[in-house]
Structure 1
Amino acid sequence: MKPLVIYDDDAVVLKSSWLRSQQFADKFWRKWVAEYLPTLTCRTKWHKEAKPLREGDLVIIVDSTLHRNVWPRGKVVDGFNFAWIVGEASGQDRSIRRGCSKGWQNCERSAYFLLYKWIWACFFISVFIASLVLQLSDGKLFIFLTNWGIILCLLTQLSGAVLATRWHFNLGGARSVATEARTLKEPPPTPKLIKFYWLLHGSSLSLALIITTVYWMFLHGKMNKPMRYPVMSFITHCLNSVFMLVDFLIVAFPVRIVHALYWMLLPIIYYLFTLVYFLAGGRDEYGHPYVYPILDWTTPGRAVATFAGVFVLYLIYSIILFALSKFKRYFSRTLSAMDSPHAIGLI
């Protein structure tokens, strides 16, 4: 077998060859840690009884960001949280508290995140209740897309709060199952409840952005009726998008361009609803034969143009959210590369 690098007596060539050999060694190390090392870990629990990880157990932390042949020792300090034992050989006992990974399904619990999710859920619950009290109008509150969006945001944030609660308190073994799945060579598929929450989150975020854009560009001050509750209108047409965007930047759901097809289902359903509502002789609370002026079916061309414009807006926002998701993932990986051991092996 030919050597990977042919050395020469020239100093410049020797330096270049040494650097190249180091690159090959680093590449081999990364592939060895990522692909071969996991095969050496015997999954004894599938063959015989074995005790699970417990507080105080010693572990070896595998981190591809470390130098070659560096194996820091760690100790389980709280469930599946780990402390890196640093400088033990020199008599120092300095520990750095770290988790296994970052993101949606990580090995850490955060009371702050749990509190945050419930605050967001309570915000949309209170907005929905206030809308019912102030603007029910014999049930016609539900003919407006704005209130469909609020209900969708409520369901999204309430689902997120429930999932965060299950994770934090390990209800039904949610955290234990997910943590165990991370150690498998072929992890199981994402739970259906998480997929449903993922779908809700993308749909409610995109719809909130559409509602905010269309309202302030085409409907504000042009609804042919008085604005009785300006504060509530600001909350449901502006803060809805702000709260959902903040949540989008915090949670770790990825975005796919093809997801826009799923997100468009709700506007299509609403579009057909306004047509059926018009044909059935429906009126808004002031007797107008439409829900929104831009969806007035007495002029079908305008209604069709509105739908086409909404479709274009969905495509634009899908691209923007996709770009933000990629940037968020890149930023998270950059931070994780500096401070995140992501795989462990029990001594």
Structure 2
Amino acid sequence: MTKLDNWKQNAPDHFYGCCMAKLRAGSEPPELFASSWSDKISPLLWRVPIFVWAAIIITWSVVSFWGPREMFLLYMTHWGLVMILLESLFGILVCFRKKQVEFSDAAEGMPLLVKTYWVLYNITVPLAFLISLFYWGVLRTQSARNINYAPDPILDLMLHALNSGLMLLELVLSRHPSRLLHVMQPLYFSGVYLLFTLAYFFADGHDPWGNPFIYPVINWFKPVETLVVLTLTALFFALMHILTVGIAAVRDFVLKKCTHDKSGLYNDAFEP
């Protein structure tokens, strides 16, 4: 039986796993999540600086926030910043776990620590790309005349440009896989934010300027337009996940060619 035939045979199970956003370890060992392209380079080399950067930028953002501090987490940008902090933190913990002890026996499955990191990674990388795309492609063009989301231009670049650059660095330098079937993990995360905006609307919430919305393009007083924007955003989020998987596949293809690794590609995107 070919690999394609096997995939077709298990398609219902894959579909169910995709809808449930399940993580099922394939042939990759847990140690892969604490590895980089080179055995001589530890992921701590970039995960620790990313964690420190995220902690500094969160502090800077809170201190210089343009509205009441309790409104800080209204914005997806700040959610993405917190996700970068958590993703890098768990990435660091995975590296330390590898140094201290072996992860687990293969029969016991993938450790919870590694699974948690993998889910955070699957969400955070495409989320950073989406935030940059949404900000520069929508907010800066549609609402720049009326609302200034970036009173500090340097912080603006940190939040909406460097965030994607750092997650691209994590993606390119890491060695663990990205799966197409994990697309529902970022989409469910976006669904949580959607429900949050809806709950905030029904609670008569306002932005720091007194507007009855968080973003002008997500205004529940205009439900049709808002649903169109949210649908397009979800599609772009899925595309960002596909882009992430594609970059990971190219990364591992180049790695295989450069190292003459005969064991196969680590990032088989169609694995469950």
Shared fold by TM > 0.5? yes
Unaligned runs of 5+ in 1: 1-101, 341-347
Out of 98, 106, 110, which is 1:167 matched to? 98
Indicate the residue corresponding to 1:237 in structure 2. Answer: 160
Out of 126, 129, 132, which is 1:209 matched to? 129
The one-letter amino acid paired with 1:307 is L
State the Cα distance separating 1:253 from its structure 2 match: 2.0
Is the counterpart of residue 325 in structure 1 residue 245 in structure 2? no
- Rounded Cα–Cα distance in structure 1 between residues aligned with 2:234 and 2:138: 16
1:291-310 Cα deviation digits (max 9, x unpaired):
00110111111110111101
Out of 109, 117, 124, which is 1:197 matched to? 117
State the Cα distance separating 1:117 from its structure 2 match: 1.9
State the Cα distance separating 1:140 from its structure 2 match: 0.5
- Rounded Cα–Cα distance in structure 1 between residues aligned with 2:252 and 2:64: 41
- Rounded Cα–Cα distance in structure 2 between residues aligned with 1:338 and 1:211: 36
Q: Which protein is richer in helix relative to its size? A: 2
State the Cα distance separating 1:317 from its structure 2 match: 1.8
The one-letter amino acid paired with 1:146 is T
State the Cα distance separating 1:315 from its structure 2 match: 2.4
- Look at both structures and tell me which one has the larger radius of gyration over its CA atoms: 1
State the Cα distance separating 1:252 from its structure 2 match: 1.5
Runs of 4+ in 1 over 3 A off after TM superposition: 102-113
State the Cα distance separating 1:167 from its structure 2 match: 2.7
- Rounded Cα–Cα distance in structure 2 between residues aligned with 1:323 and 1:116: 22
The one-letter amino acid paired with 1:141 is F
Out of 34, 58, 61, which is 1:131 matched to? 61
Indicate the residue corresponding to 1:121 in structure 2. Answer: 51
1:296-336 Cα deviation digits (max 9, x unpaired):
11111111011110121122222222222222222222334
**TM-score normalized by structure 2?**
0.76
Indicate the residue corresponding to 1:304 in structure 2. Answer: 227
Higher mean displacement: 331-340 or 276-285:
331-340
Is the counterpart of residue 220 in structure 1 residue 140 in structure 2? yes
Percent identical residues: 23
State the Cα distance separating 1:289 from its structure 2 match: 0.6
Q: Is the 8 A contact 1:128 1:151 kept in 2?
A: yes
State the Cα distance separating 1:103 from its structure 2 match: 4.6
- Rounded Cα–Cα distance in structure 1 between residues aligned with 2:71 and 2:47: 30
- Rounded Cα–Cα distance in structure 2 between residues aligned with 1:117 and 1:338: 26
Q: Which has the higher contact order (CA 8 A, sep 6+)?
A: 2
State the Cα distance separating 1:220 from its structure 2 match: 1.1
- Rounded Cα–Cα distance in structure 1 between residues aligned with 2:123 and 2:35: 24
Q: CA RMSD in A?
A: 2.5
Counterparts of residues 251-262 of structure 1 (less than 5 Å): 251-262=174-185
- Rounded Cα–Cα distance in structure 2 between residues aligned with 1:329 and 1:204: 20
The one-letter amino acid paired with 2:53 is F
State the Cα distance separating 1:338 from its structure 2 match: 5.9
**What SS does the aligned partner of 2:68 have?**
coil
